[in-house]
Amino acid sequence: MRVGSAEVDNGDAGRPANGGFDHRDPGTAEQAWAASGLGEGLRAVDLSTVAAMVVVAAHPDDETLGAGGLIADADARGIPVTVVVASAGEASHPHSPTVAPARLAEMRRVEVRAAVARLAPAAVVHQLDVPDGAVASSVDQLSIQIQTAVAGVPGTLLVAPWREDRHPDHAAAADAARRVAADTGCRLLEYPVWAWHWARPSDGTLQSQMLIGHQLSGSAVRAKEMAVAEFRSQLEPLSPAAGDEAVVGEQFLAHFRRTVEVFVASPDASLDRNYFDDFYAGGLDRWGFETHWYEKRKRALTMASLPRERYASAFEPGCAIGVLTADLAGRCDRLLATDIAAAPLARARRRLAGATHVVLQQLQVPQQWPTELFDLVVLSEIGYYCNVPDLSLLIERAVTSLTPDGVLLACHWRHPVADYPLTGDQVHDRLRRESGLRLLAEHVEEDFRLDVLVRPPAPSVARRQGLLG
């Protein structure tokens, strides 16, 4: 935890770069969380099925505050524990006149090892020393280290900071863990740290249905208390000088003295029909397909990326209200478009009432899939609704349904969404690895990613047109 500068700034102590919170503010009192009953009646973490545990921290002490009791109880059960710490936390006192960042990093490396030893004497600690405040620049390196720690052990529980904790380092650590969970299929729990400070019980940030709890044993409570005390550089002033003040206060620490640790359970199941029925009950165009320039531009890029002028038969699963479907209809002799929910399909039918060559059906892909072949399959913004097994099935069925010269186009939002089992990048990475298709064209920007894939040898548009020798 980079507590000395609200974990988000690089130089102006306490002033967050993302506007999310200021660690010097009083924040939400623990009494408010206790009175809300949020930690009561939660599903329990089942350690009986855990063969190994890998805990990820963005900064030294994140792992102890967020999951120290879980670590201690896992160790007591004989479960091997590995802790991966991304940064050394050297930026916790950016204006210290007495302790240089390199020296502070040394202090915090010692502290985290001592704290983890209090929790789990047999635990292995890996410290990457990536830049404090810039973990996002080292997500690949962190992912590799987490992947190595998981090492394909069935039954591994992966524990990491919460993606929505309003700190870029926590978000980056969560992204690395989510990437590994998607690749390996291991279960992932995410622990809030700063959310207990900036969120409020009444604002809906943390809701019971998304949470899972671990009731700490008496020995785990004591071990966690001793482990927290090891972080003297954060709990006590470095010196009497200005800039060396203690950066972790009693009100903040109170959130982590509970006898229950609370985790966000990342989705481990594909989103089902009930999810989309509830979603569309709030409005049929909540994504702004018809109104946002972002969506209009993305559709234009999608259509421009199709390598052929016309297609005999196309399939678009997840067509929603049919806005992209209408564009595709102008390039296809026959188009099958499906959606999991009835409400958006009704809107799509009205939109495409005059297009007799377009067939609209209610299907739940990938479990339900048409039997015919298509020379175009469009996977637009649906892959991240799947868990890993369902995504693999989606890829397999999409490829199997392609004609020998068929085209598979995929386009997905890249920013993580808490409800979705996967991210757009994870979808496209798996698509490239598992499809056996060759990349013909790609478009990547901050918000979305678009890939056009075909069977080898993947001749370019100019080559197919005879413009090259």
Residues 49-55 have a mean pLDDT of 95
Name the band, by pLDDT with cuts 50, 70 and 90, for residue 124.
very high
- Position 17 scores a pLDDT of 35
Estimate the crossing angle of helix 388-400 against helix 424-434, to 10 degrees.
50
Q: Which sign, positive or negative, has the C-alpha torsion 323, 451, 392, 140?
A: negative
Look up the pTM and report it. Answer: 0.65
Residue 382 scores a pLDDT above 50:
yes
pLDDT: which is higher, 117 or 153? 117
Structure-model confidence comparison of residues 49 and 450, the more confident one: 450
Average pLDDT (413-441) is 91
For 57-73, what is each residue's pLDDT tens digit?
A: 999 999 999 999 999 99
- 392 phi, psi to nearest 5 deg: -60, -40
Place of tokens 């909540």: 286
Using pLDDT thresholds of 50, 70 and 90, give the confidence band for residue 238.
Answer: very high
Share of the chain above pLDDT 90, in %: 75
pLDDT averaged over every residue in the chain: 91
pLDDT at 318: 97
Name the H helices within 18-100: 30-36, 62-76
What 3-state class would DSSP assign to 147? Answer: helix
CA pair distance 414, 203, nearest whole angstrom: 26
Work out the angle at residue 22's Cα, subtended by the Cα atoms of residues 1 and 248, and round it to the nearest 5 degrees. 45
The tokens of 3 are what?
Answer: 């507590």
In single-letter form, the type of residue at position 84 comes to V
The predicted pLDDT at position 268 comes to: 65
Average pLDDT value for residue range 4-9: 37
pLDDT tens digits for range 281-295? 878 888 899 999 999
Of residues 298 and 20, more confidence is placed in 298
pLDDT band at 410 (very low <50, low <70, confident <90, very high): very high
The pLDDT-based confidence of 13 (bands split at 50, 70, 90) is very low
Of 446, 445, 370, 442, which is closest to residue 409 (Cα–Cα)?
442
Confidence at residue 74, expressed as pLDDT on a 0 to 100 scale: 98
- Does 271 have pLDDT greater than 90? no
Contact predicate 221/69, CB 8 Å: yes
| E strand intervals along 91-219 | 124-130, 156-161, 187-191, 211-215
- In the chain, what is the straight-line distance between the N-terminal and C-terminal CA atoms, in Å? 59
Across the range 158-167, mean pLDDT stands at 93
pLDDT higher than 70, residue 3: no
Tokens 């991304």, residue?
86
- Residue pair 173/58 in contact by the 8 Å Cβ criterion: yes
- Using N-to-C axis directions, what is the helix angle for 168-184 and 139-150, rounded to 10°? 40
Residue 267 binned pLDDT confidence (cut-offs 50, 70, 90): low
Residue 15 has pLDDT above 60, yes or no: no
> In terms of pLDDT, which residue wins out, 17 or 39?
39
Cα gap 55→8, rounded to integer Å: 22
Q: How confident is the model at residue 6 (pLDDT cuts 50, 70, 90)?
A: very low
119 has pLDDT over 60 = yes
| Beta strands 156-161; 211-215: pairing state | unpaired
Q: Is residue 82 within 8 Å of 150, Cβ to Cβ?
A: no
pLDDT at 468 over 60: yes
